[in-house]
Amino acid sequence: MVYKLSQIAEAIHINFDGNDINIDGIHTLETASASQLSFFNAEKYLTQLSNTKAAAVLIEEKYAHLLPAHTQALITDEAYLKLALASKLFAYKLEPKRHTPILGERCAIDESVHFGKNVTLGDDVTILAGCYVGDHVNIGSGTLLHPHVTLYHHTQIGKACIIHSGTVIGCDGYGFAHTKRGEHVKIYQNGNVIIEDDVEIGANCAIDRAVFGTTYIRRGTKLDNLIQIGHNCDVGEHTLCAAQVGLAGSTVLGRNVVMGGQSATAGHLKIGDFATITGKGGVTKSLEGGKTYGGFPAIEHKLWLRLQAKIAGLLKRQ
């Protein structure tokens, strides 16, 4: 989908009298191309303004002078809300029609499986009853989908993966902008999900598509049942997540991270390679790799155990 910048401005109720160029998408300041719209709504991203390649940016007037000469300013005091309104213009248009996929050799597909358009399967793919495979999905050779797996449009699944029943990959992330009256406006999630090779995903997991760009589950990772992965997360290679782990949006896990049952993270943080989060651990800030953490907020596990012992000792003195 391509819109004139003036069409976007009109749709989101912003005055515009600049160069009326074509816009083909929305992305962050850091990654937007010269044909995309972006937005600025937090001072922590100030350093990205001067280097953005975006064609236009939703921005407050007091920051507009920081944009490079090639980037047009769309002046608003509600940049995030206007982003939400603009995202709807680029939302993928869904169709209920069935299509025939491009099949590799020796595939075994139950007749009840629904395929969208432009689906490609590698060799030796097995898809069991009741699965839904949306538009523009690719599934690598040797992958198995158990019954009632749902793959939303543009999802990419690698080779030799196993996805268990009830799992949904590519659903919308939990993203909303808020009006001054406290109303919630949907930010349409226009990215995708990529599952790399040799990944196993348990039953009834939900892996959200990215707002822009991609949510990644890297090679060799194993997810237990009932896990939630938020939009734009990047789960590193050979990571292990036990049941009921929850990752808030834009969490980055390094290689070989281990997360115990019911542990979780806040969003926009990083956990280093070979870190372990014990069961029920709550991660509220970025953590170094190579260490074990526990408790809430998560601290080094040995320190947390000492803290619990001190608390228990206080109770015994009462």
- What is the residue extent of each domain of the chain? 3-89, 108-302
**What would the 3-class secondary structure string for 100-140 be?**
CCECCCCCEECCCCEECCCCEECCCCEECCCCEECCCCEEC
What is the distance between the alpha carbons of residues 14 and 18, in angstroms, rounded to a whole number? 12
What is the distance between the alpha carbons of residues 131 and 148, in angstroms, rounded to a whole number? 4
- The residues, any chain, with a CB within 8 Å of residue 64's CB and separated by 6 or more, are 73, 75
- The residues, any chain, with a CB within 8 Å of residue 193's CB and separated by 6 or more, are 152, 155, 156, 169, 170, 207, 208, 209, 210, 214, 215, 216, 217
pTM, full prediction: 0.95
What is the distance between the alpha carbons of residues 8 and 15, in angstroms, rounded to a whole number? 10
Decide if 3-89 and 108-302 have a common fold.
no
pLDDT in tens, 35-83: 999 999 989 899 999 999 999 999 999 999 999 999 999 999 999 999 9
The mean pLDDT of 186-203, rounded to a whole number, is: 98
Closest CA to 85 of 63, 58, 60: 58
Architecture of domain 3-89: 3-Layer(aba) Sandwich (3.40)
pLDDT in tens, 241-290: 999 999 999 999 999 999 999 999 999 999 999 999 999 999 999 999 99
CATH of domain 108-302: 2.160.10.10
Q: Give the Å distances, CA to CA, from 52 to 46, 65, 125, 298.
A: 11, 13, 42, 35
- The residues, any chain, with a CB within 8 Å of residue 50's CB and separated by 6 or more, are 66, 67, 68
Residues with catalytic annotation?
Answer: 231
The mean pLDDT of 182-208, rounded to a whole number, is: 98
pLDDT in tens, 126-177: 999 999 999 999 999 999 999 999 999 999 999 999 999 999 999 999 999 9
pLDDT for position 311: 87
Secondary structure element (H or E) that encloses residue 169, with its range: strand 168-171
List residues bridging with 240 in a β-sheet. Answer: 222, 258
